[in-house]
Amino acid sequence: MPTRPDRIAFQGELGAFSQMAIRQLLGPTAKAVPCPTFEAMFGALAAGSVHGAMVPIENTLHGSVHENYDHLLRFDLPIVGETSVRIVHNLIVPPDLKASAIRRVYSHPVALNQCLTFFRDHPNLEKVPYYDTAGSVKMLAEEKPRDAAAIASVLAAEMYGCRILKRSIEDDKLNFTRFFLLRRKAPPLPAKPPKRGYKTSLVFTTRNVPGALFRALSALALRNIDLNKIESRPFKGRRWEYLFYVDFLGHTNEPTVRHALSHLREVADMLKVLGCYPRGD
């Protein structure tokens, strides 16, 4: 009897790097469900029309995806997994197009700007900004322009039956995007914890008094808990006050983390645990 497929929402077109994150974390049987915006993706999971959502949260070159931090606070959808995808850009053409015919290269402006060495070496090629990386390959496959290529993922070439003419044309090889997998409910702890351990993500606010953030972080530091990331976002409705998003190593079932959270609750005005998940960065 076939089991129900695991439907996972992502923002973008089929072939997006977010779909690669879904494959990487959940394997080839999970079904990637495209959404036009980040908000629509969170909304689809909240409404139960999908079983999960793959959310890009930060990139080594561009920093955090701040909009998604705001959605994490607003929606009550726990983080249950983490993975990090190397962003490899490839020059992709329709199957029957010769390299010598290419005059224009379509892609998202960010991707075009990450392949400047390639364009410097090929001054005859015109960069054409497009709304999406994978979407530009979809357009090639559908409209079959006779002089155009696209820059996108290996998966995008595969999805739309196109051919990779040149692999890995990005300037900076240290280009990674970190993703959170969200579900509607957190799963129970497995009997055997994963080898690399767990991470916990949370968000808090502090009273606007001197030393407040330092005291909040002391709840972790005094217990030797390893802080991986801190991100500040504006606290709407307050002037120059902030929400702090923190990722650290440990699971909320561990006594040390439990003590740290109870200490943090003492010094924070608001505290929300966003999820515990096997480390995957």
Active site residues: 177, 179
Q: Contact between 281 and its own copies (CB under 8 A)? A: yes
Number of residues in contact with its own copies under rule CB under 8 A: 39
For 276, half-sphere exposure in the C-beta direction (CA atoms, 13 angstrom radius) is 17
Q: Give min distance, CB of 50 to its own copies, in A.
A: 26
Q: Contact between 236 and its own copies (CB under 8 A)? A: yes
Beta carbon nearer to its own copies, 97 or 202: 202
* The length of the chain, given as a count of residues: 281
Residue among 277, 206, 278, 193 nearest 240 (CA) = 206
Q: Give min distance, CB of 43 to its own copies, in A.
A: 17
- Contact with its own copies (CB under 8 A): which of 95, 147, 161, 214? 214
Tell me which amino acid residue 2 is. P
Q: Give min distance, CB of 11 to its own copies, in A.
A: 18
Q: Contact between 46 and its own copies (CB under 8 A)? A: no
Q: Give min distance, CB of 103 to its own copies, in A.
A: 27
Q: Footprint of its own copies on residues 155-194 (CB under 8 A)?
A: 172, 174, 176, 178
How far apart are the C-alpha atoms of 25 and 3, rounded to whole Å?
19
The alpha carbon of 233 is separated from its chain's Cα centroid by a whole number of angstroms, namely: 18
For 55, half-sphere exposure in the C-beta direction (CA atoms, 13 angstrom radius) is 30
Strand partners, 233: 243
How far apart are the C-alpha atoms of 74 and 76, rounded to whole Å?
7
Q: Contact between 110 and its own copies (CB under 8 A)? A: no
- Contact with its own copies (CB under 8 A): which of 31, 43, 168, 242? 242
How far apart are the C-alpha atoms of 280 and 81, rounded to whole Å?
7
The answer to whether the CB of 127 falls within 8 A of the CB of 105 is yes
User: Which of these ranges, 48-56, 126-134, 207-215, 255-263, lies near its own copies under the rule CB under 8 A?
Assistant: 207-215
Q: Give min distance, CB of 2 to its own copies, in A.
A: 39
Q: Contact between 264 and its own copies (CB under 8 A)? A: no
Q: Contact between 58 and its own copies (CB under 8 A)? A: yes
Q: Contact between 266 and its own copies (CB under 8 A)? A: no
Cα 187–193–194 angle (5° rounding)? 100
Q: Contact between 279 and its own copies (CB under 8 A)? A: no
How, if at all, do strands 148-152 and 90-93 pair?
Answer: antiparallel
How far apart are the C-alpha atoms of 15 and 185, rounded to whole Å?
27
- Give the binding site for its own copies (CB under 8 A): 58-64, 66, 172, 174, 176, 178, 210-211, 213-215, 217-218, 220-221, 224-234, 236-240, 242, 281
